[in-house]
């Protein structure tokens, strides 16, 4: 399943379908035929001196090289194709540089059209001392042709709170462009509520009736009533439903415990920044159909390929690191 990049050949479409290509992105892309890929979902390096980055290039070289990659990406995309470009910010000599804005200008210059600027919110992450915490990333959804693109809204609708409003569709609404993806099981959420109710009971049983305590009780009661009303007005039963309604909350994979990190089985090398699968699932569902080809041009641990495979899409990944390619191969094969 891993294809080593061969410098002398051009690829034909079926050579790279359902393959992980171990090679340098620009050189591989240049050998791919035009108009062959439906969706590219990717996250480049953020120029943060991570282990997999090219340490010898300066920031201007980094942008120049990525511009070439984006240009080739446009060529391999189908006429109605799209690219999802995930970046955060980088830090240069103590100054924050917003990579989303910087790359947007490059995409615009190369004739892409922005459909949405998605904010993906998570917990954890950097802990700087001289500025606020950065707790979100950007996913720029750009299309090759502004009049022709895939948007399977029915596959990604989310529950709406306002079922009584006749203007609102009962099968759900469009997700917002601000994605808080909640991965907790509903039963865990219920247990959390139970434990909070326990604390609430304790407060009631406290005999002293001081002013602050009364305000606190009033606040909590109002909150609980609001939440319960929201929940009870929804159609499905609590256990089948996300209690946060239209909000999904998903944390980054790097926040999970050391034990659960995605590692190479022999060398134990772990990928530092895998995509969360649910983020990718929503993107693949909305931007491609069954049997379409989904490509990640910096595929790392292979999350995009794994999810694309599960959703019956064809897939392809490119990464220059042999061990990451091997991790990806195992993840795609195992389907878990």
Query: Which parts of this chain interact with ligand SAM (CB under 6 A)?
Result: 24-25, 43, 45, 52, 271, 273-275, 298, 300-301, 303, 318-321, 324
CB of 28 or CB of 286, closer to ligand SAM:
28
CA-based torsion, 245, 251, 257, 260: positive or negative: positive
Is residue 327 helix, strand or coil? helix
CB of 188 to ligand SAM, least distance (A): 25
CB of 141 or CB of 324, closer to ligand SAM:
324
CB of 96 to ligand SAM, least distance (A): 19
CB of 46 or CB of 112, closer to ligand SAM:
46
Distance, CA of 227 to CA of 221 (rounded, Å): 10
Strands 95-98 and 89-92: antiparallel
CB of 304 to ligand SAM, least distance (A): 6
CB of 298 to ligand SAM, least distance (A): 3
CB 303 within 8 A of CB 273: no
Distance, CA of 237 to CA of 256 (rounded, Å): 30
CB of 98 or CB of 219, closer to ligand SAM:
98
Distance, CA of 143 to CA of 120 (rounded, Å): 19
CB of 187 to ligand SAM, least distance (A): 28
List, edge to edge, every strand of the sheet that includes 19-22: 2-4, 19-22, 314-319, 293-296, 37-42, 77-87, 136-143, 113-121, 178-179
What tokens were used for 206? 């406290």
CB of 43 to ligand SAM, least distance (A): 4
CB of 116 to ligand SAM, least distance (A): 19
Distance, CA of 116 to CA of 98 (rounded, Å): 17
The C-alpha R_g of the chain, in whole angstroms, comes to 23
CB of 142 or CB of 318, closer to ligand SAM:
318
CB 17 within 8 A of CB 293: yes
CB of 180 or CB of 297, closer to ligand SAM:
297
CB nearest ligand SAM: which residue?
300
CB 173 within 8 A of CB 158: yes
CB of 36 or CB of 42, closer to ligand SAM:
42
């Amino acid at each position: 399943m891993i294809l080593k990049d061969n410098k002398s050949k051009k690829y034909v479409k079926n050579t790279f379908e359902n393959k992980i290509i171990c090679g340098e992105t620009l050189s591989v892309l240049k050998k791919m035929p035009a108009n062959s890929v439906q969706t590219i979902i990717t996250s480049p390096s953020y120029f943060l001196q991570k282990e997999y980055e090219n340490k010898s290039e300066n920031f201007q070289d980094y942008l120049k090289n990525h511009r070439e990659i984006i240009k080739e990406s446009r060529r391999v995309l189908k006429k109605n194709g799209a690219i999802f470009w995930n970046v955060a910010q980088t830090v240069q000599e103590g100054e924050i540089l917003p990579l989303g804005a910087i790359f947007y200008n490059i995409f615009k210059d190369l004739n892409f059209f922005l459909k949405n600027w998605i904010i993906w919110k998570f917990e954890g992450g950097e802990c700087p001392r001289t500025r606020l915490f950065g707790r979100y990333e950007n996913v720029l959804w750009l299309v090759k042709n502004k009049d022709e693109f895939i948007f399977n809204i029915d596959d990604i609708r989310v529950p709406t709170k306002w079922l009584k409003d006749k203007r609102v569709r009962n099968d759900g609404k469009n997700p917002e462009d601000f994605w808080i993806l909640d991965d907790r099981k509903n039963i865990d959420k219920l247990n959390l509520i139970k434990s909070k109710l326990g604390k609430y009971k304790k407060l009631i049983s406290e005999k002293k009736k001081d002013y602050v305590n009364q305000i606190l009780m009033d606040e909590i009661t109002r909150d609980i009533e609001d939440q319960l009303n929201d929940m009870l007005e929804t159609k499905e039963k609590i256990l089948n439903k996300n209690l946060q309604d239209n909000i999904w909350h998903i944390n980054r994979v790097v926040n999970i415990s050391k034990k659960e990190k995605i590692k190479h089985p022999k060398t134990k090398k772990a990928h530092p920044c895998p995509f969360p699968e649910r983020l990718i699932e929503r993107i693949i569902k909305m931007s491609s159909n069954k049997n379409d080809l989904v490509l990640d041009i910096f595929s790392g641990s292979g999350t995009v390929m794994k999810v694309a495979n599960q959703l019956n899409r064809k897939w392809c990944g490119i990464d220059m690191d042999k061990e990451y390619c091997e991790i990806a191969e195992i993840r795609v094969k195992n389907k878990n």
